[in-house]
Amino acid sequence: MIHLYFSWPSHCFRANTGVAIQRRLIGKLRFYSQTGRARQAKPWIFAQVREIPAILLPQSLHRISAIITRRQTRGGIRPWGPPLRLLSLLSCLLVLAVGPAAAENLRYRTDYRVTLGALPIARASFVTEVNQSSYTISGSFKSSAIVNVVTTISAVSNVSGTLHGDRMQTDRYTLVYQKGRKKLTYDVHYQDGNVTQTTIEPQPKRRPETWIEVTQQDLMAVLDPISGLIIPEGEAACPRTLPIYDGESRMDIVLTPKGRESFSVGGVKGEAIVCSMRYVPKSGFRKGRKDIEYLRKVDGMEIWFAKTSTLKVYAPVYARVPTQMGTIYVSAVEFDG
């Protein structure tokens, strides 16, 4: 076991990073990239990391986990299946506590770095715009150079909706994900908090005998995975249970109070609210998936929220998820405190 030190938290974090596996992975990637044999590297990389459970990351980044952790099959990657939707937890990357400031035209941006221990996986950016009666949240994601040795992955997500007092109500959520030349699109429409239409292109192939279908009842009073952590001003970030639907899977994200911690991002310092997280799958996934079962049982997941100055909202500044290969960190690199 080693200690990992990060510059922005006020203290060091102890994490089981699976450092030996990470070093082998970095060494192999460096060897194959230098010799131009990236295609040969692919089977080795999949063999080394396919046991990582789908990871709590932004929605688009979770797709990287889904690709890396699955064996390749004839005809390409397996159908997208029940990806790790804890992403909703971090995919929102903006917990908006909308208050009086929502009456103005405001814009807020957050940037995040994602690592497996010390190994960079991806970067993500989210831009939120709020006016008198509506809001939009736009996210972009791109895999790191190390992941790009296997394949280039990018994604763009958008949420639009209307403001009702101090609450946001989603009208539409979209995700356009691209791996190499392959593209996957999710398009979800909402009305009064209920899902009215879901479109996935191309349509994934599923085995009815093992697939847990999403029922009509599952689609009532749900949140989208980007603005899913919207918290009205004056309410506590945790405890609360978030009913999330991401276009394929329905899950609950359970947040429990864990205290407060000091944080530092760039020149911004302050105090963050710390919540532990628990993932409860409901429907829209395949029975017996090891990554789903792992996340259902794992302990040690947490997320930190801090208040911004521009929008007067709460935004995640840090999150961590223990995995069998090490700890996944999502840390803010640009934050308006």
Q: What is the pLDDT along the chain (337 residues), one digit of tens a residue?
A: 323 222 223 333 333 344 454 555 555 444 444 444 444 444 444 443 343 333 333 333 444 444 444 433 333 333 333 333 434 444 544 444 444 455 568 888 888 888 878 888 888 888 888 888 899 989 888 877 666 666 677 888 999 999 887 678 899 999 998 888 888 899 999 999 999 999 999 988 888 999 999 999 999 999 998 877 666 666 777 888 889 998 999 999 899 999 999 888 877 788 888 999 998 999 999 998 888 888 889 889 998 888 777 666 677 888 888 876 778 888 888 776 5
Q: What is the pLDDT of residue 42?
A: 45
102 closest CA partner among 40, 158, 56, 163: 163
Strand positions, DSSP E, the chain: 2-4, 13-15, 72-73, 76-77, 106-116, 119-130, 134-143, 153-164, 167-179, 182-191, 194-201, 211-212, 240-245, 250-265, 268-283, 285-286, 302-307, 314-322, 327-334
Asked whether 156 and 139 are in contact (CB, 8 A), the reply is yes
Q: Which positions ≥6 away from 179 have C-beta within 8 Å?
A: 63, 67, 77, 151, 152, 153
Q: What is the pLDDT of residue 198?
A: 96
What residue spans define the domains of the chain? 2-334
**DSSP percent split of the chain into helix, strand, coil, nearest 5:** 20, 45, 35
Asked whether 315 and 95 are in contact (CB, 8 A), the reply is yes
Q: What is the pLDDT of residue 232?
A: 62
Strand positions, DSSP E, 165-267: 167-179, 182-191, 194-201, 211-212, 240-245, 250-265
Q: What is the pLDDT of residue 290?
A: 84
Q: What is the pLDDT of residue 52?
A: 36
Distance CA 211, CA 285 (A): 6
Asked whether 112 and 122 are in contact (CB, 8 A), the reply is no
> Exposed, middle or buried: residue 6 (CB in 10 Å: 0-12, 13-18, 19+)?
middle
Q: What is the pLDDT of residue 314?
A: 74
> Exposed, middle or buried: residue 121 (CB in 10 Å: 0-12, 13-18, 19+)?
buried
Distance CA 276, CA 278 (A): 7
Asked whether 21 and 51 are in contact (CB, 8 A), the reply is no
Query: pTM of the entire structure?
Result: 0.70
